[in-house]
A and B are shown apart, each in its own frame.
Chain A
Amino acid sequence: MPDRIRLKAFGMLAEKIGADSLEIENPGSSETLRRLLLEQFPALQPLTFRMAVDRKLIQAETDISAGQEIALLPPFSGG
Protein backbone atom coordinates (compact mmCIF):
# COMPACT_ATOMS: atom_id res chain seq x y z
CA MET A 1 0.00 0.00 0.00
CA PRO A 2 1.48 3.37 -0.95
CA ASP A 3 2.13 5.64 2.05
CA ARG A 4 -0.85 7.93 1.56
CA ILE A 5 -3.61 9.26 3.81
CA ARG A 6 -7.03 10.78 3.22
CA LEU A 7 -7.96 14.23 4.55
CA LYS A 8 -11.55 15.23 5.19
CA ALA A 9 -12.09 18.95 5.72
CA PHE A 10 -15.21 20.40 7.31
CA GLY A 11 -16.90 23.81 7.28
CA MET A 12 -14.78 26.81 6.47
CA LEU A 13 -11.64 24.64 6.25
CA ALA A 14 -13.02 22.89 3.15
CA GLU A 15 -13.61 26.33 1.57
CA LYS A 16 -10.06 27.47 2.28
CA ILE A 17 -8.52 24.22 1.05
CA GLY A 18 -10.79 24.15 -1.98
CA ALA A 19 -11.96 20.57 -1.43
CA ASP A 20 -13.67 18.58 1.29
CA SER A 21 -11.67 15.45 0.59
CA LEU A 22 -8.04 15.10 -0.41
CA GLU A 23 -5.50 12.29 -0.70
CA ILE A 24 -1.94 13.22 0.22
CA GLU A 25 1.38 11.61 1.03
CA ASN A 26 1.58 10.56 4.68
CA PRO A 27 3.49 13.22 6.64
CA GLY A 28 3.96 10.74 9.52
CA SER A 29 2.52 12.77 12.38
CA SER A 30 -0.33 15.14 13.14
CA GLU A 31 1.96 18.09 13.87
CA THR A 32 3.90 17.65 10.62
CA LEU A 33 0.57 17.47 8.82
CA ARG A 34 -0.59 20.69 10.47
CA ARG A 35 2.64 22.45 9.48
CA LEU A 36 2.40 21.24 5.88
CA LEU A 37 -1.24 22.30 5.64
CA LEU A 38 -0.51 25.81 6.93
CA GLU A 39 2.34 26.11 4.43
CA GLN A 40 0.35 24.86 1.48
CA PHE A 41 -2.88 26.70 2.42
CA PRO A 42 -1.88 29.97 4.13
CA ALA A 43 -5.58 30.88 4.42
CA LEU A 44 -5.78 28.26 7.19
CA GLN A 45 -3.22 30.07 9.35
CA PRO A 46 -5.59 32.24 11.37
CA LEU A 47 -8.14 29.47 11.81
CA THR A 48 -8.80 27.31 14.86
CA PHE A 49 -9.19 23.62 14.06
CA ARG A 50 -8.86 20.21 15.64
CA MET A 51 -7.88 16.93 14.03
CA ALA A 52 -9.33 13.44 14.29
CA VAL A 53 -7.34 10.36 13.27
CA ASP A 54 -9.56 7.49 12.12
CA ARG A 55 -12.57 9.19 13.70
CA LYS A 56 -10.98 9.82 17.09
CA LEU A 57 -10.36 13.42 18.10
CA ILE A 58 -6.70 13.71 19.09
CA GLN A 59 -5.43 15.75 22.04
CA ALA A 60 -1.68 15.61 21.43
CA GLU A 61 0.77 14.92 18.63
CA THR A 62 -0.18 11.58 17.12
CA ASP A 63 1.56 9.27 14.67
CA ILE A 64 -0.24 8.79 11.40
CA SER A 65 0.08 5.58 9.42
CA ALA A 66 -0.67 4.80 5.80
CA GLY A 67 -4.32 4.57 4.86
CA GLN A 68 -5.61 6.50 7.87
CA GLU A 69 -8.29 9.14 7.54
CA ILE A 70 -7.66 12.55 9.09
CA ALA A 71 -10.61 14.86 9.73
CA LEU A 72 -9.99 18.62 10.03
CA LEU A 73 -12.60 20.10 12.26
CA PRO A 74 -13.45 23.78 12.80
CA PRO A 75 -15.83 25.06 15.48
CA PHE A 76 -19.32 26.14 14.27
CA SER A 77 -21.42 28.63 16.16
CA GLY A 78 -24.50 29.05 13.96
CA GLY A 79 -27.98 28.29 15.13
Chain B
Amino acid sequence: MIINRFERQVILPGFGQEGQAKLKQSSVLVIGAGGLGCPVLLYLAAAGVGRIAVVDGDVISQSNLNRQVLYGEKDLGKNKADTAIRYFQEKYSDIQWTAIPEYITVDNAQAHIFHYDLVIDGSDNFPTRYLVNDACVLLKKPLVYGSIYQHEGQVSVFNVGSHPCNYRDVFPNPPAPQEIPNCAETGVLGVLPGIIGNLMALEAIKVLSGLGKPLSNKLLLFNSLDTQFQELEIQPNPASQSAIPTSWNEFHQRDYALGVEGVQQLTWNEAMKLMGQEVAFVDVREPGEEPPLVCTGLVKVPFSTLSNELDRFEEAEEILFFCQSGARSQKAAQLLQQTYPDKKIFSIRGGINALKS
Protein backbone atom coordinates (compact mmCIF):
# COMPACT_ATOMS: atom_id res chain seq x y z
CA MET B 1 0.00 0.00 0.00
CA ILE B 2 1.27 3.46 -0.84
CA ILE B 3 1.56 5.63 2.24
CA ASN B 4 0.47 9.19 1.57
CA ARG B 5 -0.87 12.05 3.63
CA PHE B 6 -4.38 10.60 3.47
CA GLU B 7 -3.51 7.15 4.78
CA ARG B 8 -5.40 7.54 8.06
CA GLN B 9 -8.67 8.44 6.37
CA VAL B 10 -8.29 5.97 3.51
CA ILE B 11 -8.14 3.08 6.03
CA LEU B 12 -11.45 4.24 7.54
CA PRO B 13 -14.29 1.80 6.82
CA GLY B 14 -16.93 3.55 4.72
CA PHE B 15 -14.51 6.16 3.38
CA GLY B 16 -11.60 4.31 1.80
CA GLN B 17 -9.80 4.98 -1.48
CA GLU B 18 -13.17 5.65 -3.06
CA GLY B 19 -14.02 8.49 -0.65
CA GLN B 20 -10.54 9.94 -1.09
CA ALA B 21 -10.81 9.81 -4.86
CA LYS B 22 -14.14 11.65 -4.70
CA LEU B 23 -12.62 14.41 -2.56
CA LYS B 24 -9.66 14.68 -4.91
CA GLN B 25 -12.02 15.13 -7.86
CA SER B 26 -14.13 17.71 -6.04
CA SER B 27 -14.03 21.48 -6.04
CA VAL B 28 -15.23 23.84 -3.32
CA LEU B 29 -15.84 27.58 -3.28
CA VAL B 30 -15.48 29.11 0.19
CA ILE B 31 -17.23 32.46 0.55
CA GLY B 32 -15.63 34.45 3.33
CA ALA B 33 -12.25 33.59 4.86
CA GLY B 34 -13.14 34.85 8.33
CA GLY B 35 -14.04 33.14 11.59
CA LEU B 36 -15.90 30.31 9.82
CA GLY B 37 -13.90 30.24 6.59
CA CYS B 38 -10.53 29.72 8.32
CA PRO B 39 -11.37 26.41 10.05
CA VAL B 40 -13.37 25.25 7.00
CA LEU B 41 -10.31 25.80 4.80
CA LEU B 42 -7.89 24.16 7.24
CA TYR B 43 -9.85 20.91 7.29
CA LEU B 44 -10.93 20.77 3.64
CA ALA B 45 -7.31 21.28 2.64
CA ALA B 46 -5.96 18.68 5.06
CA ALA B 47 -8.61 16.22 3.85
CA GLY B 48 -7.48 16.63 0.25
CA VAL B 49 -10.30 18.35 -1.64
CA GLY B 50 -8.82 18.71 -5.14
CA ARG B 51 -9.66 22.29 -5.98
CA ILE B 52 -10.41 25.07 -3.50
CA ALA B 53 -11.19 28.74 -4.14
CA VAL B 54 -11.64 31.50 -1.59
CA VAL B 55 -13.70 34.65 -2.21
CA ASP B 56 -13.18 37.55 0.18
CA GLY B 57 -12.69 41.24 -0.48
CA ASP B 58 -11.98 42.08 3.15
CA VAL B 59 -8.62 42.85 4.73
CA ILE B 60 -7.25 41.48 8.00
CA SER B 61 -7.61 43.68 11.06
CA GLN B 62 -6.31 43.17 14.58
CA SER B 63 -9.72 42.33 16.05
CA ASN B 64 -9.98 39.37 13.61
CA LEU B 65 -7.04 37.53 15.15
CA ASN B 66 -8.89 35.91 18.09
CA ARG B 67 -10.77 33.64 15.68
CA GLN B 68 -9.36 33.92 12.16
CA VAL B 69 -6.60 31.46 12.88
CA LEU B 70 -4.90 31.52 9.47
CA TYR B 71 -3.63 35.05 10.07
CA GLY B 72 -1.10 36.71 12.34
CA GLU B 73 0.25 40.12 13.31
CA LYS B 74 2.24 40.46 10.08
CA ASP B 75 -0.88 40.09 7.95
CA LEU B 76 -2.75 43.19 9.16
CA GLY B 77 -4.12 45.21 6.25
CA LYS B 78 -3.67 42.37 3.72
CA ASN B 79 -6.50 40.79 1.75
CA LYS B 80 -7.91 37.66 3.39
CA ALA B 81 -8.36 35.53 0.26
CA ASP B 82 -4.79 36.23 -0.95
CA THR B 83 -3.27 35.65 2.48
CA ALA B 84 -5.17 32.41 3.10
CA ILE B 85 -4.21 31.01 -0.31
CA ARG B 86 -0.52 31.87 0.18
CA TYR B 87 -0.58 30.04 3.51
CA PHE B 88 -2.02 26.89 1.94
CA GLN B 89 0.04 26.86 -1.24
CA GLU B 90 3.13 26.33 0.90
CA LYS B 91 1.57 23.42 2.79
CA TYR B 92 -0.31 21.44 0.16
CA SER B 93 1.00 21.46 -3.39
CA ASP B 94 -1.43 18.71 -4.44
CA ILE B 95 -4.41 21.10 -4.22
CA GLN B 96 -5.34 23.60 -6.92
CA TRP B 97 -5.80 26.94 -5.13
CA THR B 98 -7.56 30.07 -6.36
CA ALA B 99 -7.76 33.39 -4.53
CA ILE B 100 -10.61 35.71 -5.48
CA PRO B 101 -9.83 38.91 -3.55
CA GLU B 102 -13.22 40.54 -4.04
CA TYR B 103 -16.71 40.44 -2.57
CA ILE B 104 -19.36 38.21 -4.06
CA THR B 105 -21.99 40.34 -5.84
CA VAL B 106 -24.98 39.89 -8.13
CA ASP B 107 -22.58 40.53 -11.02
CA ASN B 108 -19.92 37.92 -10.24
CA ALA B 109 -21.81 35.23 -8.25
CA GLN B 110 -22.96 33.14 -11.20
CA ALA B 111 -19.53 33.06 -12.85
CA HIS B 112 -17.72 32.15 -9.62
CA ILE B 113 -20.17 29.57 -8.26
CA PHE B 114 -20.72 27.83 -11.60
CA HIS B 115 -17.21 26.34 -11.59
CA TYR B 116 -17.44 24.51 -8.25
CA ASP B 117 -19.19 21.38 -6.98
CA LEU B 118 -20.08 22.80 -3.59
CA VAL B 119 -20.29 26.23 -1.95
CA ILE B 120 -19.54 27.08 1.67
CA ASP B 121 -21.19 30.19 3.09
CA GLY B 122 -18.88 31.56 5.76
CA SER B 123 -19.93 35.17 5.21
CA ASP B 124 -20.84 37.53 8.01
CA ASN B 125 -23.86 39.50 6.81
CA PHE B 126 -27.43 38.92 5.64
CA PRO B 127 -27.18 40.51 2.17
CA THR B 128 -24.37 38.10 1.22
CA ARG B 129 -26.14 35.12 2.78
CA TYR B 130 -29.36 35.73 0.77
CA LEU B 131 -27.42 36.49 -2.40
CA VAL B 132 -25.35 33.30 -2.11
CA ASN B 133 -28.44 31.25 -1.23
CA ASP B 134 -30.39 32.48 -4.25
CA ALA B 135 -27.46 31.97 -6.64
CA CYS B 136 -26.98 28.41 -5.35
CA VAL B 137 -30.72 27.67 -5.74
CA LEU B 138 -30.59 28.93 -9.35
CA LEU B 139 -27.53 26.75 -10.03
CA LYS B 140 -28.83 23.81 -7.90
CA LYS B 141 -25.46 23.83 -6.09
CA PRO B 142 -25.01 22.14 -2.71
CA LEU B 143 -24.54 24.90 -0.15
CA VAL B 144 -23.14 24.35 3.33
CA TYR B 145 -24.49 27.07 5.59
CA GLY B 146 -23.17 28.10 8.99
CA SER B 147 -23.59 31.23 11.04
CA ILE B 148 -22.99 32.41 14.56
CA TYR B 149 -24.27 34.84 17.16
CA GLN B 150 -22.38 35.27 20.43
CA HIS B 151 -22.35 31.76 21.99
CA GLU B 152 -24.58 30.03 19.43
CA GLY B 153 -24.31 28.65 15.95
CA GLN B 154 -26.54 27.26 13.18
CA VAL B 155 -25.49 24.75 10.52
CA SER B 156 -27.35 23.22 7.58
CA VAL B 157 -26.89 21.77 4.11
CA PHE B 158 -29.02 23.24 1.34
CA ASN B 159 -29.93 22.06 -2.17
CA VAL B 160 -29.06 18.42 -1.42
CA GLY B 161 -31.48 15.47 -1.53
CA SER B 162 -34.79 14.72 -3.20
CA HIS B 163 -36.81 17.50 -1.51
CA PRO B 164 -34.04 20.00 -0.88
CA CYS B 165 -34.39 23.02 1.39
CA ASN B 166 -32.61 26.33 1.16
CA TYR B 167 -32.07 29.24 3.54
CA ARG B 168 -35.35 30.90 2.56
CA ASP B 169 -37.26 27.83 3.75
CA VAL B 170 -35.96 28.67 7.21
CA PHE B 171 -36.02 32.47 7.02
CA PRO B 172 -37.91 33.60 3.89
CA ASN B 173 -36.73 37.21 4.03
CA PRO B 174 -33.87 39.08 5.69
CA PRO B 175 -34.59 40.85 8.97
CA ALA B 176 -34.89 44.64 9.01
CA PRO B 177 -31.55 46.43 9.45
CA GLN B 178 -32.73 47.81 12.79
CA GLU B 179 -32.89 44.27 14.20
CA ILE B 180 -29.31 43.45 13.43
CA PRO B 181 -26.54 44.10 15.94
CA ASN B 182 -23.65 46.17 14.65
CA CYS B 183 -20.88 44.09 13.15
CA ALA B 184 -18.26 45.75 15.34
CA GLU B 185 -20.23 45.27 18.54
CA THR B 186 -21.03 41.56 18.62
CA GLY B 187 -18.57 39.70 20.80
CA VAL B 188 -17.38 36.18 20.07
CA LEU B 189 -14.95 33.66 21.54
CA GLY B 190 -12.79 32.34 18.72
CA VAL B 191 -13.51 28.72 19.54
CA LEU B 192 -17.24 29.07 18.61
CA PRO B 193 -16.69 29.79 14.89
CA GLY B 194 -13.95 27.14 15.17
CA ILE B 195 -16.55 24.54 16.16
CA ILE B 196 -19.20 25.70 13.67
CA GLY B 197 -16.61 25.95 10.88
CA ASN B 198 -15.44 22.39 11.61
CA LEU B 199 -19.04 21.17 11.43
CA MET B 200 -19.35 22.92 8.06
CA ALA B 201 -16.16 21.23 6.80
CA LEU B 202 -17.54 17.89 7.99
CA GLU B 203 -20.81 18.44 6.12
CA ALA B 204 -18.92 19.40 2.95
CA ILE B 205 -16.78 16.24 3.18
CA LYS B 206 -19.91 14.12 3.69
CA VAL B 207 -21.71 15.63 0.68
CA LEU B 208 -18.64 15.30 -1.57
CA SER B 209 -17.52 11.82 -0.53
CA GLY B 210 -20.90 10.23 0.12
CA LEU B 211 -19.93 9.40 3.72
CA GLY B 212 -22.68 9.36 6.36
CA LYS B 213 -25.80 11.53 6.33
CA PRO B 214 -25.45 15.24 5.62
CA LEU B 215 -27.63 17.79 7.47
CA SER B 216 -30.00 18.27 4.53
CA ASN B 217 -33.55 19.18 5.60
CA LYS B 218 -32.16 19.74 9.09
CA LEU B 219 -30.98 22.80 10.95
CA LEU B 220 -28.42 22.06 13.65
CA LEU B 221 -28.25 24.48 16.57
CA PHE B 222 -25.32 24.65 18.96
CA ASN B 223 -24.95 26.55 22.21
CA SER B 224 -21.41 26.74 23.53
CA LEU B 225 -22.36 27.88 27.05
CA ASP B 226 -24.16 24.66 27.94
CA THR B 227 -22.56 22.58 25.14
CA GLN B 228 -25.98 21.60 23.78
CA PHE B 229 -26.77 20.52 20.26
CA GLN B 230 -30.31 20.49 18.94
CA GLU B 231 -31.56 19.43 15.53
CA LEU B 232 -34.68 20.89 13.93
CA GLU B 233 -36.45 19.36 10.96
CA ILE B 234 -37.03 21.77 8.08
CA GLN B 235 -38.96 21.29 4.86
CA PRO B 236 -39.43 23.11 1.58
CA ASN B 237 -41.76 26.06 2.07
CA PRO B 238 -43.74 26.93 -1.08
CA ALA B 239 -44.37 30.44 0.28
CA SER B 240 -40.66 31.25 0.47
CA GLN B 241 -39.94 30.09 -3.09
CA SER B 242 -41.54 33.26 -4.38
CA ALA B 243 -38.80 35.31 -2.70
CA ILE B 244 -36.11 33.72 -4.88
CA PRO B 245 -35.36 35.25 -8.30
CA THR B 246 -36.67 32.96 -11.04
CA SER B 247 -33.98 33.85 -13.58
CA TRP B 248 -30.42 35.21 -13.73
CA ASN B 249 -31.80 38.35 -15.24
CA GLU B 250 -33.97 38.87 -12.18
CA PHE B 251 -31.03 37.96 -9.92
CA HIS B 252 -28.78 40.59 -11.54
CA GLN B 253 -31.45 43.26 -10.98
CA ARG B 254 -32.01 42.39 -7.33
CA ASP B 255 -30.75 44.80 -4.66
CA TYR B 256 -29.66 42.59 -1.76
CA ALA B 257 -28.46 45.50 0.40
CA LEU B 258 -30.64 46.04 3.46
CA GLY B 259 -32.22 49.44 3.25
CA VAL B 260 -33.18 51.40 6.35
CA GLU B 261 -36.50 53.12 5.75
CA GLY B 262 -36.22 56.83 5.09
CA VAL B 263 -32.44 56.86 4.68
CA GLN B 264 -31.04 58.23 1.43
CA GLN B 265 -28.10 56.26 0.07
CA LEU B 266 -25.42 57.48 -2.29
CA THR B 267 -22.70 55.69 -4.23
CA TRP B 268 -19.10 56.82 -3.63
CA ASN B 269 -19.15 58.64 -6.96
CA GLU B 270 -22.28 60.57 -6.07
CA ALA B 271 -20.84 61.30 -2.63
CA MET B 272 -17.57 62.66 -4.06
CA LYS B 273 -19.51 65.22 -6.10
CA LEU B 274 -21.14 66.56 -2.92
CA MET B 275 -17.91 67.10 -0.99
CA GLY B 276 -17.35 70.68 0.03
CA GLN B 277 -17.21 73.29 2.78
CA GLU B 278 -20.60 72.76 4.33
CA VAL B 279 -20.54 68.97 4.09
CA ALA B 280 -19.52 66.82 7.05
CA PHE B 281 -17.87 63.60 5.86
CA VAL B 282 -18.09 61.10 8.72
CA ASP B 283 -16.47 57.69 9.33
CA VAL B 284 -18.60 55.90 11.96
CA ARG B 285 -16.38 52.83 12.19
CA GLU B 286 -14.77 51.94 15.49
CA PRO B 287 -11.04 52.60 16.00
CA GLY B 288 -8.89 49.86 14.43
CA GLU B 289 -11.21 48.88 11.59
CA GLU B 290 -9.19 48.36 8.41
CA PRO B 291 -8.35 49.95 6.08
CA PRO B 292 -8.29 53.46 7.45
CA LEU B 293 -9.48 56.14 5.04
CA VAL B 294 -7.21 59.14 4.90
CA CYS B 295 -8.56 62.34 3.44
CA THR B 296 -8.85 65.98 4.33
CA GLY B 297 -11.96 67.08 6.17
CA LEU B 298 -12.78 63.56 7.35
CA VAL B 299 -14.44 63.40 10.77
CA LYS B 300 -14.25 60.19 12.83
CA VAL B 301 -17.16 59.53 15.16
CA PRO B 302 -17.45 55.84 16.12
CA PHE B 303 -21.05 54.63 15.97
CA SER B 304 -20.81 53.51 19.61
CA THR B 305 -20.38 57.13 20.80
CA LEU B 306 -22.42 58.90 18.10
CA SER B 307 -25.52 59.45 20.23
CA ASN B 308 -23.43 61.45 22.74
CA GLU B 309 -21.88 63.64 20.06
CA LEU B 310 -24.91 64.75 18.08
CA ASP B 311 -24.16 68.43 18.74
CA ARG B 312 -20.93 68.13 16.70
CA PHE B 313 -23.08 68.23 13.57
CA GLU B 314 -25.00 71.39 14.38
CA GLU B 315 -23.04 73.51 11.86
CA ALA B 316 -23.07 71.12 8.91
CA GLU B 317 -25.71 71.60 6.22
CA GLU B 318 -25.18 68.18 4.71
CA ILE B 319 -23.79 65.04 6.31
CA LEU B 320 -22.30 62.00 4.57
CA PHE B 321 -21.88 58.89 6.69
CA PHE B 322 -19.93 55.77 5.84
CA CYS B 323 -18.85 52.60 7.67
CA GLN B 324 -17.43 49.21 6.66
CA SER B 325 -20.43 47.71 4.85
CA GLY B 326 -23.07 50.44 4.78
CA ALA B 327 -25.22 49.11 7.64
CA ARG B 328 -24.09 51.22 10.61
CA SER B 329 -23.86 54.34 8.47
CA GLN B 330 -27.56 53.94 7.63
CA LYS B 331 -28.41 53.72 11.31
CA ALA B 332 -26.23 56.79 11.91
CA ALA B 333 -28.04 58.69 9.17
CA GLN B 334 -31.39 57.68 10.63
CA LEU B 335 -30.35 58.84 14.11
CA LEU B 336 -29.08 62.20 12.84
CA GLN B 337 -32.14 62.77 10.68
CA GLN B 338 -34.33 62.39 13.77
CA THR B 339 -32.21 65.01 15.54
CA TYR B 340 -31.87 67.34 12.55
CA PRO B 341 -34.92 66.84 10.31
CA ASP B 342 -33.95 69.80 8.08
CA LYS B 343 -30.42 68.72 7.21
CA LYS B 344 -29.59 66.66 4.14
CA ILE B 345 -28.15 63.40 5.45
CA PHE B 346 -26.84 60.48 3.39
CA SER B 347 -25.32 57.07 3.90
CA ILE B 348 -22.76 55.73 1.43
CA ARG B 349 -23.97 52.47 -0.04
CA GLY B 350 -21.73 49.48 0.67
CA GLY B 351 -19.29 51.51 2.78
CA ILE B 352 -15.53 50.95 2.59
CA ASN B 353 -16.14 47.48 1.14
CA ALA B 354 -17.72 49.05 -1.94
CA LEU B 355 -14.76 51.40 -2.30
CA LYS B 356 -12.31 48.48 -2.30
CA SER B 357 -14.09 46.42 -4.97
Residues of A within 8 A of B (CB): 8, 10-12, 20, 46-48, 50, 52, 55-57, 59, 71, 73-79
Give the distance to chain B from A18, nearest Cβ to Cβ, in Å: 15
Q: When the two chains form their complex, are residues A79 and B122 in contact, meaning their CB atoms are under 8 A apart? A: yes
Q: A76–B221 Cα gap in the complex (Å)? A: 11
Given contacts A48-B179, A50-B171, contact A76 B154 (CB under 8 A): yes
B214 interfacial by beta-carbon distance below 8 Å: no
Q: When the two chains form their complex, are residues A76 and B232 in contact, meaning their CB atoms are under 8 A apart? A: no
Question: Nearest CB to that of A79 among chain B residues?
Answer: B124
Q: When the two chains form their complex, are residues B152 and A11 in contact, meaning their CB atoms are under 8 A apart? A: yes
Given contacts A11-B149, A55-B230, A59-B239, contact A77 B125 (CB under 8 A): yes
Q: When the two chains form their complex, are residues B123 and A46 in contact, meaning their CB atoms are under 8 A apart? A: no
Q: A71–B221 Cα gap in the complex (Å)? A: 11
B255 interfacial by beta-carbon distance below 8 Å: no
Q: When the two chains form their complex, are residues A75 and B126 in contact, meaning their CB atoms are under 8 A apart? A: yes
Chain A residue numbers with a CB within 8 Å of B178 are 46
Q: What are 7 contact pairs spanning A and B, CB under 8 A?
A: A55-B232, A57-B219, A76-B147, A77-B129, A79-B34, A79-B121, A79-B122
Residues of B within 8 A of A (CB): 32, 34-37, 121-126, 129, 146-150, 152-154, 170-171, 173-176, 178-181, 186, 188, 193, 219, 221, 223, 230-235, 237, 239
Number of A-B pairs, beta carbon distance below 8 Å: 90
Q: When the two chains form their complex, are residues A77 and B170 in contact, meaning their CB atoms are under 8 A apart? A: no
Q: A73–B234 Cα gap in the complex (Å)? A: 12
Q: A77-B124, A79-B34, A79-B146 are in contact. List 18 more A-B contacts (CB 8 A).
A: A10-B152, A11-B149, A47-B175, A47-B179, A48-B175, A55-B230, A55-B233, A59-B237, A71-B221, A73-B232, A75-B126, A76-B147, A77-B149, A78-B193, A79-B121, A79-B147, A79-B148, A79-B193
Query: Which of A11, A48, A52, A78 counts the most B-chain CB atoms under 10 A from its CB?
Result: A78
Chain A residue numbers with a CB within 8 Å of B122 are 79
Chain B residue numbers with a CB within 8 Å of A20 are 223
Chain A residue numbers with a CB within 8 Å of B152 are 10-11, 76
Q: When the two chains form their complex, are residues A78 and B188 in contact, meaning their CB atoms are under 8 A apart? A: yes
Q: When the two chains form their complex, are residues A78 and B175 in contact, meaning their CB atoms are under 8 A apart? A: no
Given contacts A50-B171, A56-B232, A77-B129, contact A10 B124 (CB under 8 A): no
Q: A78–B37 Cα gap in the complex (Å)? A: 12
Chain B residue numbers with a CB within 8 Å of A47 are 175, 179
Give the distance to chain A from B299, nearest Cβ to Cβ, in Å: 29
